[in-house]
Structure 1
Amino acid sequence: MTDVRETLARLNPAGVRFDSGRGGAPALTNQDIAAALAFVPAGVGRELLVACWWPDAAAIRSVALRDAVYEHIRPEVVRQTRDLVDARVRLGMVRARAGWTETLDAETRRELAAAEAALDAAKVRCWPSATWEMLPVLTRAVVSEIAMPNHCPSCRGLRDVRAPSGLLVPCKTCGGNGVVSVSDRKRAEAIGRDESTYRGAWRPVYEWLLSELRDAEQAAARSLRDALAVRG
Protein backbone atom coordinates (compact mmCIF):
# COMPACT_ATOMS: atom_id res chain seq x y z
CA MET A 1 0.00 0.00 0.00
CA THR A 2 1.61 3.21 -1.18
CA ASP A 3 -0.60 5.48 0.93
CA VAL A 4 -1.78 4.27 4.29
CA ARG A 5 -4.78 6.61 4.11
CA GLU A 6 -6.20 4.50 1.30
CA THR A 7 -6.93 1.77 3.83
CA LEU A 8 -9.78 3.92 5.18
CA ALA A 9 -11.56 3.59 1.84
CA ARG A 10 -12.04 -0.09 2.68
CA LEU A 11 -14.43 0.96 5.42
CA ASN A 12 -16.88 2.40 2.89
CA PRO A 13 -19.60 0.02 1.66
CA ALA A 14 -18.46 -1.81 -1.46
CA GLY A 15 -19.60 -4.63 -3.66
CA VAL A 16 -16.19 -6.25 -3.44
CA ARG A 17 -14.62 -7.36 -0.18
CA PHE A 18 -11.05 -6.20 0.29
CA ASP A 19 -10.40 -8.20 3.43
CA SER A 20 -10.99 -11.64 1.96
CA GLY A 21 -8.44 -13.85 0.29
CA ARG A 22 -7.78 -17.40 -0.71
CA GLY A 23 -7.66 -18.73 2.80
CA GLY A 24 -6.03 -17.91 6.09
CA ALA A 25 -6.24 -14.67 8.02
CA PRO A 26 -5.92 -11.41 6.05
CA ALA A 27 -3.00 -9.13 6.90
CA LEU A 28 -5.35 -6.35 7.93
CA THR A 29 -9.08 -6.62 8.49
CA ASN A 30 -11.53 -3.76 8.41
CA GLN A 31 -11.76 -4.11 12.17
CA ASP A 32 -8.01 -3.58 12.41
CA ILE A 33 -8.27 -0.41 10.34
CA ALA A 34 -11.13 1.01 12.40
CA ALA A 35 -9.30 0.16 15.62
CA ALA A 36 -6.10 1.81 14.35
CA LEU A 37 -8.04 4.98 13.55
CA ALA A 38 -9.10 5.13 17.18
CA PHE A 39 -5.42 5.43 18.13
CA VAL A 40 -4.97 8.53 15.99
CA PRO A 41 -5.03 11.51 18.39
CA ALA A 42 -8.39 13.25 18.47
CA GLY A 43 -8.51 16.59 16.73
CA VAL A 44 -8.69 18.23 13.35
CA GLY A 45 -6.17 15.83 11.75
CA ARG A 46 -8.22 12.73 12.52
CA GLU A 47 -11.43 14.41 11.40
CA LEU A 48 -9.74 15.33 8.13
CA LEU A 49 -8.65 11.73 7.57
CA VAL A 50 -12.26 10.69 7.92
CA ALA A 51 -13.56 13.53 5.74
CA CYS A 52 -11.08 12.87 2.93
CA TRP A 53 -10.85 9.09 2.95
CA TRP A 54 -13.96 7.72 4.67
CA PRO A 55 -16.83 9.81 3.25
CA ASP A 56 -19.59 7.56 4.57
CA ALA A 57 -18.46 8.22 8.14
CA ALA A 58 -17.73 11.89 7.34
CA ALA A 59 -21.40 12.41 6.53
CA ILE A 60 -22.31 11.80 10.17
CA ARG A 61 -19.21 13.47 11.62
CA SER A 62 -19.52 16.87 9.93
CA VAL A 63 -20.20 18.56 13.27
CA ALA A 64 -17.03 17.03 14.72
CA LEU A 65 -15.01 18.38 11.78
CA ARG A 66 -16.60 21.81 12.15
CA ASP A 67 -15.81 22.00 15.85
CA ALA A 68 -12.25 20.76 15.33
CA VAL A 69 -11.58 23.39 12.65
CA TYR A 70 -13.08 26.14 14.82
CA GLU A 71 -10.89 25.17 17.75
CA HIS A 72 -7.83 25.03 15.50
CA ILE A 73 -8.41 28.48 14.04
CA ARG A 74 -9.44 30.22 17.26
CA PRO A 75 -5.89 30.83 18.66
CA GLU A 76 -4.85 32.54 15.42
CA VAL A 77 -7.88 34.83 15.47
CA VAL A 78 -7.21 35.64 19.14
CA ARG A 79 -3.57 36.42 18.36
CA GLN A 80 -4.50 38.75 15.51
CA THR A 81 -7.09 40.51 17.68
CA ARG A 82 -4.62 40.94 20.52
CA ASP A 83 -1.97 42.37 18.18
CA LEU A 84 -4.50 44.86 16.80
CA VAL A 85 -5.61 45.95 20.27
CA ASP A 86 -2.00 46.31 21.44
CA ALA A 87 -1.17 48.48 18.41
CA ARG A 88 -4.17 50.70 19.05
CA VAL A 89 -3.32 51.07 22.73
CA ARG A 90 0.27 51.92 21.91
CA LEU A 91 -0.79 54.62 19.44
CA GLY A 92 -3.23 56.03 21.98
CA MET A 93 -0.52 56.23 24.62
CA VAL A 94 1.90 57.98 22.26
CA ARG A 95 -0.79 60.47 21.27
CA ALA A 96 -1.62 61.09 24.91
CA ARG A 97 2.03 61.78 25.75
CA ALA A 98 2.28 64.11 22.79
CA GLY A 99 -0.72 66.03 24.11
CA TRP A 100 1.19 67.07 27.21
CA THR A 101 3.35 69.47 25.23
CA GLU A 102 2.42 72.31 22.91
CA THR A 103 5.11 71.42 20.36
CA LEU A 104 6.24 68.02 19.21
CA ASP A 105 9.93 67.26 19.24
CA ALA A 106 11.59 65.01 16.66
CA GLU A 107 11.58 61.96 18.94
CA THR A 108 7.84 62.21 19.60
CA ARG A 109 7.13 62.59 15.90
CA ARG A 110 9.13 59.42 15.24
CA GLU A 111 7.20 57.57 17.95
CA LEU A 112 3.90 58.71 16.46
CA ALA A 113 4.91 57.64 12.97
CA ALA A 114 6.12 54.26 14.23
CA ALA A 115 2.94 53.67 16.23
CA GLU A 116 0.73 54.62 13.30
CA ALA A 117 2.70 52.34 10.99
CA ALA A 118 2.44 49.47 13.50
CA LEU A 119 -1.32 49.90 13.67
CA ASP A 120 -1.63 49.94 9.88
CA ALA A 121 0.49 46.77 9.65
CA ALA A 122 -1.63 45.04 12.31
CA LYS A 123 -4.78 45.89 10.35
CA VAL A 124 -3.29 44.42 7.18
CA ARG A 125 -2.33 41.20 8.98
CA CYS A 126 -5.83 40.75 10.39
CA TRP A 127 -8.24 38.55 8.50
CA PRO A 128 -11.55 40.02 7.32
CA SER A 129 -14.22 40.54 9.96
CA ALA A 130 -16.45 38.09 8.08
CA THR A 131 -13.99 35.22 8.52
CA TRP A 132 -16.22 33.27 10.91
CA GLU A 133 -19.19 33.61 8.55
CA MET A 134 -17.04 32.43 5.63
CA LEU A 135 -15.38 29.59 7.53
CA PRO A 136 -17.86 26.85 6.46
CA VAL A 137 -17.34 27.50 2.75
CA LEU A 138 -13.59 28.04 3.21
CA THR A 139 -13.30 24.74 5.08
CA ARG A 140 -15.24 22.82 2.45
CA ALA A 141 -13.01 24.21 -0.30
CA VAL A 142 -9.81 23.46 1.60
CA VAL A 143 -10.91 19.92 2.51
CA SER A 144 -11.78 19.29 -1.13
CA GLU A 145 -8.33 20.49 -2.20
CA ILE A 146 -6.66 18.20 0.35
CA ALA A 147 -8.80 15.22 -0.65
CA MET A 148 -8.27 15.79 -4.38
CA PRO A 149 -4.82 17.37 -4.70
CA ASN A 150 -3.75 19.10 -7.90
CA HIS A 151 -1.17 16.53 -8.98
CA CYS A 152 1.88 17.77 -10.82
CA PRO A 153 1.52 17.18 -14.57
CA SER A 154 5.21 16.30 -14.89
CA CYS A 155 5.54 13.59 -12.25
CA ARG A 156 1.81 12.80 -11.92
CA GLY A 157 2.01 13.12 -8.18
CA LEU A 158 4.89 10.67 -7.80
CA ARG A 159 7.34 13.43 -6.75
CA ASP A 160 10.22 11.92 -8.72
CA VAL A 161 10.95 11.72 -12.45
CA ARG A 162 13.33 9.60 -14.46
CA ALA A 163 16.46 11.52 -15.47
CA PRO A 164 18.29 10.82 -18.78
CA SER A 165 20.77 8.80 -16.73
CA GLY A 166 17.96 6.51 -15.68
CA LEU A 167 18.04 7.62 -12.04
CA LEU A 168 14.99 8.92 -10.21
CA VAL A 169 15.38 12.58 -9.26
CA PRO A 170 13.02 15.06 -7.56
CA CYS A 171 10.62 16.65 -10.00
CA LYS A 172 11.63 20.23 -10.80
CA THR A 173 8.12 21.30 -11.74
CA CYS A 174 6.68 20.72 -8.26
CA GLY A 175 9.90 20.76 -6.25
CA GLY A 176 9.41 17.13 -5.31
CA ASN A 177 6.05 17.77 -3.62
CA GLY A 178 3.95 15.89 -6.13
CA VAL A 179 1.37 18.66 -6.28
CA VAL A 180 1.20 22.13 -7.78
CA SER A 181 -0.77 25.11 -6.51
CA VAL A 182 -4.37 25.58 -7.49
CA SER A 183 -4.96 28.87 -9.28
CA ASP A 184 -6.48 31.87 -7.51
CA ARG A 185 -9.32 31.75 -10.02
CA LYS A 186 -10.29 28.18 -9.09
CA ARG A 187 -10.02 28.88 -5.39
CA ALA A 188 -12.14 32.00 -5.78
CA GLU A 189 -14.78 29.94 -7.58
CA ALA A 190 -14.67 27.33 -4.83
CA ILE A 191 -15.60 29.89 -2.16
CA GLY A 192 -18.07 31.79 -4.32
CA ARG A 193 -16.05 34.98 -4.73
CA ASP A 194 -14.54 36.74 -7.73
CA GLU A 195 -10.78 36.48 -8.21
CA SER A 196 -9.97 40.07 -7.21
CA THR A 197 -11.93 39.75 -3.96
CA TYR A 198 -10.22 36.47 -3.21
CA ARG A 199 -6.78 37.97 -3.72
CA GLY A 200 -7.54 41.12 -1.77
CA ALA A 201 -9.35 39.61 1.20
CA TRP A 202 -9.42 35.83 1.35
CA ARG A 203 -6.15 34.47 0.00
CA PRO A 204 -4.23 34.85 3.33
CA VAL A 205 -7.03 33.05 5.20
CA TYR A 206 -7.32 30.30 2.59
CA GLU A 207 -3.59 29.65 2.36
CA TRP A 208 -3.16 29.63 6.15
CA LEU A 209 -6.07 27.23 6.57
CA LEU A 210 -4.83 24.97 3.77
CA SER A 211 -1.32 24.80 5.22
CA GLU A 212 -2.53 24.13 8.76
CA LEU A 213 -5.11 21.50 7.82
CA ARG A 214 -2.80 19.78 5.35
CA ASP A 215 -0.10 19.48 8.02
CA ALA A 216 -2.64 18.17 10.53
CA GLU A 217 -3.96 15.59 8.07
CA GLN A 218 -0.45 14.39 7.24
CA ALA A 219 0.42 14.09 10.94
CA ALA A 220 -2.74 12.06 11.50
CA ALA A 221 -1.82 9.84 8.55
CA ARG A 222 1.56 9.13 10.16
CA SER A 223 -0.19 8.17 13.39
CA LEU A 224 -2.50 5.88 11.45
CA ARG A 225 0.46 4.28 9.70
CA ASP A 226 2.17 3.62 13.04
CA ALA A 227 -0.99 2.15 14.51
CA LEU A 228 -1.51 -0.11 11.51
CA ALA A 229 2.13 -1.24 11.63
CA VAL A 230 1.52 -2.56 15.14
CA ARG A 231 -1.52 -4.49 13.97
CA GLY A 232 -0.16 -5.60 10.58
Structure 2
Amino acid sequence: MNNVRELMARLGPSTVKFDTGRGGTPDLTNQDIAAALGMVPAGLGRELLEACWWPDGAALRRHRLRDAVIALVTPELRRQQRKLADARTDLGLAEVCMGWTGSVTAEQRAERDRAAHRLGQVKAQCWPISTLESLPTLASAVIGEMSTREGCTKCHGRGTSQTGKGPEVCPSCSGSGLGAISDRRRAAALGRDESTYRERWRGVYEWLLARMLDAEQGAAAHMGRALTGSTEDRQCSPATS
Protein backbone atom coordinates (compact mmCIF):
# COMPACT_ATOMS: atom_id res chain seq x y z
CA MET A 1 0.00 0.00 0.00
CA ASN A 2 1.17 3.51 -0.74
CA ASN A 3 2.24 5.73 2.08
CA VAL A 4 -0.94 7.13 3.62
CA ARG A 5 0.63 10.59 3.57
CA GLU A 6 0.88 10.45 -0.22
CA LEU A 7 -2.68 9.18 -0.52
CA MET A 8 -3.99 12.14 1.45
CA ALA A 9 -2.86 14.46 -1.33
CA ARG A 10 -5.69 13.00 -3.40
CA LEU A 11 -8.21 14.68 -1.10
CA GLY A 12 -7.23 18.09 -2.45
CA PRO A 13 -8.63 19.71 -5.58
CA SER A 14 -7.62 17.78 -8.67
CA THR A 15 -8.66 17.23 -12.26
CA VAL A 16 -7.08 13.77 -12.36
CA LYS A 17 -9.22 10.72 -11.69
CA PHE A 18 -7.38 8.46 -9.22
CA ASP A 19 -10.01 5.89 -8.33
CA THR A 20 -10.19 3.92 -11.57
CA GLY A 21 -9.71 0.20 -11.02
CA ARG A 22 -6.86 -1.64 -12.73
CA GLY A 23 -6.85 -5.31 -13.71
CA GLY A 24 -9.99 -6.13 -11.74
CA THR A 25 -8.34 -5.16 -8.42
CA PRO A 26 -10.37 -2.58 -6.49
CA ASP A 27 -8.26 0.53 -5.86
CA LEU A 28 -8.80 2.88 -2.97
CA THR A 29 -11.19 5.65 -3.80
CA ASN A 30 -11.03 9.15 -2.41
CA GLN A 31 -14.05 8.20 -0.33
CA ASP A 32 -12.06 5.31 1.17
CA ILE A 33 -9.22 7.66 2.07
CA ALA A 34 -11.54 10.24 3.61
CA ALA A 35 -13.35 7.53 5.56
CA ALA A 36 -10.07 6.12 6.89
CA LEU A 37 -8.98 9.59 7.95
CA GLY A 38 -12.28 9.97 9.78
CA MET A 39 -11.48 6.81 11.77
CA VAL A 40 -8.26 8.32 13.15
CA PRO A 41 -8.91 9.36 16.76
CA ALA A 42 -9.36 13.09 17.24
CA GLY A 43 -6.39 14.89 18.73
CA LEU A 44 -2.95 16.18 17.95
CA GLY A 45 -1.94 13.29 15.67
CA ARG A 46 -4.89 13.65 13.36
CA GLU A 47 -4.55 17.44 13.21
CA LEU A 48 -0.88 17.11 12.32
CA LEU A 49 -1.61 14.47 9.70
CA GLU A 50 -3.96 16.91 7.99
CA ALA A 51 -1.75 19.97 8.50
CA CYS A 52 1.24 18.22 6.93
CA TRP A 53 -0.39 16.28 4.12
CA TRP A 54 -3.83 17.79 3.50
CA PRO A 55 -3.41 21.50 4.27
CA ASP A 56 -6.61 22.47 2.44
CA GLY A 57 -8.62 20.36 4.85
CA ALA A 58 -6.64 21.48 7.88
CA ALA A 59 -7.21 25.14 6.98
CA LEU A 60 -10.91 24.65 7.73
CA ARG A 61 -10.18 23.69 11.34
CA ARG A 62 -7.07 25.65 12.35
CA HIS A 63 -8.42 26.13 15.86
CA ARG A 64 -8.25 22.39 16.49
CA LEU A 65 -4.54 22.27 15.74
CA ARG A 66 -4.00 25.36 17.90
CA ASP A 67 -5.86 23.82 20.82
CA ALA A 68 -4.02 20.49 20.44
CA VAL A 69 -0.58 22.15 20.45
CA ILE A 70 -1.48 24.28 23.46
CA ALA A 71 -2.73 21.18 25.28
CA LEU A 72 0.59 19.49 24.50
CA VAL A 73 2.89 22.19 25.86
CA THR A 74 0.85 23.50 28.81
CA PRO A 75 1.63 20.61 31.22
CA GLU A 76 5.34 20.90 30.46
CA LEU A 77 5.35 24.66 30.96
CA ARG A 78 3.59 24.26 34.30
CA ARG A 79 6.01 21.52 35.35
CA GLN A 80 8.96 23.78 34.56
CA GLN A 81 7.46 26.69 36.46
CA ARG A 82 6.80 24.54 39.53
CA LYS A 83 10.36 23.23 39.44
CA LEU A 84 11.70 26.77 39.07
CA ALA A 85 9.58 28.04 41.97
CA ASP A 86 10.76 25.18 44.18
CA ALA A 87 14.41 25.91 43.36
CA ARG A 88 13.95 29.61 44.16
CA THR A 89 12.25 28.75 47.44
CA ASP A 90 15.08 26.40 48.40
CA LEU A 91 17.62 29.15 47.75
CA GLY A 92 15.56 31.66 49.75
CA LEU A 93 15.34 29.29 52.69
CA ALA A 94 19.08 28.63 52.60
CA GLU A 95 19.76 32.37 52.67
CA VAL A 96 17.33 32.91 55.56
CA CYS A 97 19.06 30.21 57.59
CA MET A 98 22.41 31.94 57.06
CA GLY A 99 21.24 35.13 58.72
CA TRP A 100 19.01 33.60 61.40
CA THR A 101 21.46 33.72 64.31
CA GLY A 102 23.93 36.28 63.01
CA SER A 103 26.75 33.78 62.63
CA VAL A 104 27.20 31.87 59.40
CA THR A 105 28.62 28.36 59.38
CA ALA A 106 30.52 26.64 56.59
CA GLU A 107 27.68 24.13 56.31
CA GLN A 108 25.16 26.92 55.76
CA ARG A 109 27.32 28.49 53.06
CA ALA A 110 27.68 25.13 51.37
CA GLU A 111 23.90 24.61 51.43
CA ARG A 112 23.34 28.09 50.00
CA ASP A 113 25.84 27.39 47.23
CA ARG A 114 24.19 24.06 46.42
CA ALA A 115 20.77 25.72 46.24
CA ALA A 116 22.12 28.49 44.00
CA HIS A 117 23.70 25.87 41.73
CA ARG A 118 20.44 23.92 41.50
CA LEU A 119 18.55 27.09 40.64
CA GLY A 120 21.02 27.85 37.87
CA GLN A 121 20.60 24.35 36.46
CA VAL A 122 16.81 24.61 36.53
CA LYS A 123 16.88 27.99 34.80
CA ALA A 124 19.10 26.59 32.06
CA GLN A 125 16.65 23.75 31.47
CA CYS A 126 13.55 25.96 31.33
CA TRP A 127 12.16 27.18 28.03
CA PRO A 128 12.41 30.89 27.16
CA ILE A 129 9.92 33.21 28.87
CA SER A 130 8.47 34.10 25.45
CA THR A 131 7.71 30.48 24.53
CA LEU A 132 3.94 30.92 24.64
CA GLU A 133 3.88 33.98 22.42
CA SER A 134 6.31 32.23 20.06
CA LEU A 135 4.26 29.02 19.96
CA PRO A 136 2.53 29.74 16.61
CA THR A 137 5.93 30.27 14.96
CA LEU A 138 7.40 27.20 16.64
CA ALA A 139 4.49 24.98 15.61
CA SER A 140 4.57 26.29 12.04
CA ALA A 141 8.31 25.65 11.77
CA VAL A 142 7.98 22.12 13.12
CA ILE A 143 5.10 21.29 10.79
CA GLY A 144 7.05 22.71 7.87
CA GLU A 145 10.01 20.48 8.74
CA MET A 146 7.80 17.42 9.14
CA SER A 147 6.12 17.90 5.77
CA THR A 148 9.31 18.53 3.77
CA ARG A 149 12.01 16.59 5.58
CA GLU A 150 13.68 13.93 3.47
CA GLY A 151 14.26 10.37 4.59
CA CYS A 152 17.44 9.16 6.26
CA THR A 153 20.03 8.29 3.64
CA LYS A 154 21.49 5.51 5.79
CA CYS A 155 18.33 3.45 6.30
CA HIS A 156 16.37 4.90 3.34
CA GLY A 157 13.60 6.08 5.63
CA ARG A 158 12.94 2.69 7.23
CA GLY A 159 14.24 3.62 10.68
CA THR A 160 16.07 0.29 10.96
CA SER A 161 19.19 -1.18 9.42
CA GLN A 162 20.11 -4.80 8.86
CA THR A 163 22.97 -6.25 10.87
CA GLY A 164 24.27 -9.74 11.48
CA LYS A 165 21.88 -9.94 14.42
CA GLY A 166 18.88 -8.79 12.39
CA PRO A 167 17.18 -5.39 12.09
CA GLU A 168 18.33 -2.76 14.56
CA VAL A 169 17.43 0.87 15.14
CA CYS A 170 19.28 3.04 12.64
CA PRO A 171 22.06 4.84 14.53
CA SER A 172 22.01 7.75 12.10
CA CYS A 173 18.36 8.78 12.61
CA SER A 174 17.67 7.00 15.94
CA GLY A 175 14.79 5.13 14.34
CA SER A 176 12.85 8.12 13.04
CA GLY A 177 13.63 7.36 9.40
CA LEU A 178 14.24 11.07 8.82
CA GLY A 179 17.29 12.87 7.55
CA ALA A 180 19.24 15.36 9.62
CA ILE A 181 18.31 19.05 9.68
CA SER A 182 20.87 21.73 10.54
CA ASP A 183 20.48 24.18 13.41
CA ARG A 184 20.92 26.97 10.87
CA ARG A 185 17.87 25.86 8.91
CA ARG A 186 15.75 25.58 12.03
CA ALA A 187 16.94 28.95 13.29
CA ALA A 188 15.97 30.53 9.97
CA ALA A 189 12.50 28.97 10.18
CA LEU A 190 12.06 30.63 13.58
CA GLY A 191 13.48 33.95 12.43
CA ARG A 192 16.41 33.64 14.86
CA ASP A 193 20.15 33.64 14.39
CA GLU A 194 21.88 30.30 14.82
CA SER A 195 23.64 31.11 18.10
CA THR A 196 20.41 32.32 19.72
CA TYR A 197 18.62 29.21 18.52
CA ARG A 198 21.25 26.93 20.01
CA GLU A 199 21.36 28.79 23.31
CA ARG A 200 17.68 29.40 23.92
CA TRP A 201 15.38 27.66 21.45
CA ARG A 202 16.85 24.29 20.50
CA GLY A 203 15.51 22.59 23.63
CA VAL A 204 11.90 23.59 23.12
CA TYR A 205 12.06 23.03 19.35
CA GLU A 206 13.43 19.49 19.65
CA TRP A 207 10.98 18.69 22.47
CA LEU A 208 8.08 19.84 20.33
CA LEU A 209 9.35 18.09 17.21
CA ALA A 210 9.80 14.74 18.97
CA ARG A 211 6.29 14.73 20.39
CA MET A 212 4.62 16.01 17.25
CA LEU A 213 6.43 13.41 15.14
CA ASP A 214 5.32 10.67 17.51
CA ALA A 215 1.71 11.86 17.41
CA GLU A 216 1.69 12.17 13.61
CA GLN A 217 3.26 8.76 13.09
CA GLY A 218 0.72 7.17 15.40
CA ALA A 219 -2.12 8.77 13.46
CA ALA A 220 -0.62 7.67 10.12
CA ALA A 221 -0.34 4.09 11.39
CA HIS A 222 -3.97 4.16 12.55
CA MET A 223 -5.09 5.45 9.16
CA GLY A 224 -2.99 2.83 7.38
CA ARG A 225 -4.74 0.05 9.30
CA ALA A 226 -8.12 1.52 8.42
CA LEU A 227 -7.17 1.68 4.74
CA THR A 228 -5.96 -1.91 4.77
CA GLY A 229 -9.27 -3.00 6.23
CA SER A 230 -11.14 -1.02 3.58
CA THR A 231 -9.19 -2.67 0.77
CA GLU A 232 -9.72 -6.14 2.21
CA ASP A 233 -13.45 -5.54 2.59
CA ARG A 234 -13.75 -4.44 -1.05
CA GLN A 235 -11.75 -7.41 -2.31
CA CYS A 236 -14.01 -9.79 -0.39
CA SER A 237 -17.22 -8.13 -1.60
CA PRO A 238 -19.04 -9.87 -4.50
CA ALA A 239 -18.54 -8.14 -7.84
CA THR A 240 -21.40 -5.99 -9.02
CA SER A 241 -22.57 -5.97 -12.60
Please give the range of the TM-score, normalised by the shorter of the 2 chains: 0.7 to 0.9
User: CA-to-partner distance for each residue in 1:48-75, whole Å, 9 max, x for gaps?
Assistant: 0001111210222222211111111111
1:195 and 2:207 equivalent? no
Aligned residues of 1:87 and 1:118 also touching (Cα < 8 A): yes
Residue pairs, 1:24-173, within 5 angstroms: 26-153=26-153, 156-157=156-157
Contact 1:150/1:182 (CA < 8 Å) preserved in 2? no
Distance in 1 (CA, whole Å) between partners of 2:123 and 2:30 is: 50
* Residues matched between the structures, number: 230
Q: Report the residue type matching 1:141 in the other structure.
A: A
Shift of 1:11: 1.1
Describe the shift of the 1:43–1:172 C-alpha distance in structure 2 as closer, same or farther (beyond 3 A): closer
CA distance in 2, matches of 1:178, 1:41: 24
Superposition RMSD in Å: 2.7
Deviation at 1:220, TM superposition (A): 0.9
Q: CA deviation at 1:177?
A: 4.5
Distance 2:104 2:153 in 1: 61
- TM-score normalized with structure 2 length: 0.84
CA-to-aligned-CA distance 1:112-139 (integer Å, 9 cap, x gap): 1111111111111111111111111111
Task: List alignment gaps of at least 5 residues for structure 1.
Answer: none
Contact 2:98–2:105 (Cα < 8 Å) also in 1 = no
Task: Give the aligned residue type for 1:132.
Answer: L
The amino acid of 1:199's aligned partner reads R
Residues 219/162 of structure 1: CA separation in 2 closer, same or farther (3 Å cut): closer
- Provide the rounded CA distance (Å) in 2 between the counterparts of 1:135 and 1:122: 21
User: Is the partner of 2:60 in helix, strand or coil?
Assistant: coil
Relative to structure 1, is the Cα distance of residues 68 and 172 closer, same or farther in structure 2, using a 3 angstrom cutoff? Answer: closer
* Post-superposition offset of 1:200: 1.2
SS in 2 for 1:145: helix
Distance in 2 (alpha carbons) for counterparts of 1:57 and 1:35: 14
Structure 1: distance between partners of 2:56 and 2:136: 19
